[in-house]
Chain A
Amino acid sequence: AQKITQTQPGMFVQEKEAVTLDCTYDTSDPSYGLFWYKQPSSGEMIFLIYQGSYDQQNATEGRYSLNFQKARKSANLVISASQLGDSAMYFCAMRGDNTNAGKSTFGDGTTLTVKP
């Protein structure tokens, strides 16, 4: 079984500052993928970034980076230079190597509010 834990129900950050959203996971799969999604108030799920368990480097996508610490089973999302449009719900998710692409386990999310 897989489990994702996001311990921060809500976070606040000042515009233009960086923020870290926490995610820890548990799985028995030898290889797995970790994902972050953004859900704005309009409700759609927007893919942000992916990290493979055997990737040597932490993933980066523009202002998003993933701080992957395999031994600690953590995959924190770092958003640099926060913008007002970053205010949204953020979900961490994972898939194991014995599941087809698409069947994911999600955390309960963190609501990020960017203050002007």
Chain B
Amino acid sequence: NAGVMQNPRHLVRRRGQEARLRCSPMKGHSHVYWYRQLPEEGLKFMVYLQKENIIDESGMPKERFSAEFPKEGPSILRIQQVVRGDSAAYFCASSQRTDSLDREAFFGQGTRLTVV
């Protein structure tokens, strides 16, 4: 899973600033998923994207959060006007399109966002 690259690994933002988290999927993968992990909790699905399309954003907060996966370049998770409650680890996963359930999604190492 070293192929999914997330940066930065650690990000500190003051309340009200913007946070931009980047995810480059594994080579050959065109599907990207973002998850959020609050302290002492499991991962919670946020959004699923394919190139230039948002497929499922059912787990994304309605305000301040947005995601994109442009034709060229990494997927970006953007959080505007961050608040302390946004402090969490944000994980990106990528996969190939498949109908087989045993295809695991490969995770990046996560970005740990701290809002001060």
Question: What's the nearest-Cβ distance from chain A to residue B89, in Å?
Answer: 6
Among listed B41-49, B65-73, B75-83, interface-contacting one: B41-49
Determine whether A105 belongs to the interface, using a CB cutoff of 8 Å to chain B. yes
Q: Are A103 and B103 in contact (CB under 8 A)?
A: no
From B1, B45, B55, B103, give the contact of A101 (CB < 8 A): B103
From B42, B89, B108, give the contact of A109 (CB < 8 A): B42
Determine whether B104 belongs to the interface, using a CB cutoff of 8 Å to chain A. yes
Determine whether B109 belongs to the interface, using a CB cutoff of 8 Å to chain A. yes
Q: How far is the CA of A113 from the CA of B93 in the complex (A)?
A: 27
Q: Are A102 and B41 in contact (CB under 8 A)?
A: no
Closest B residue, CB atoms, query A46 = B1
Q: Are A43 and B112 in contact (CB under 8 A)?
A: yes
Enumerate B25-61 residues with CB–CB distance to A below 8 Å.
Answer: 31, 33, 35, 40-45, 48, 55-56
**Total interface residues in chain B, CB < 8 Å:** 33
Beyond A43-B109, A44-B110, A106-B42, whether A101 also contacts B89 by CB under 8 A is no
Q: How many A-B residue pairs have CB under 8 A?
A: 78
Q: Are A52 and B101 in contact (CB under 8 A)?
A: yes
Q: Contact mask A92-108 → B, CB, 8 Å, 1/0?
A: 01010100111111111
Q: Are A103 and B1 in contact (CB under 8 A)?
A: no
**Cβ–Cβ < 8 Å partners of A104 in chain B:** 43, 45, 105
Closest A residue, CB atoms, query B112 = A43
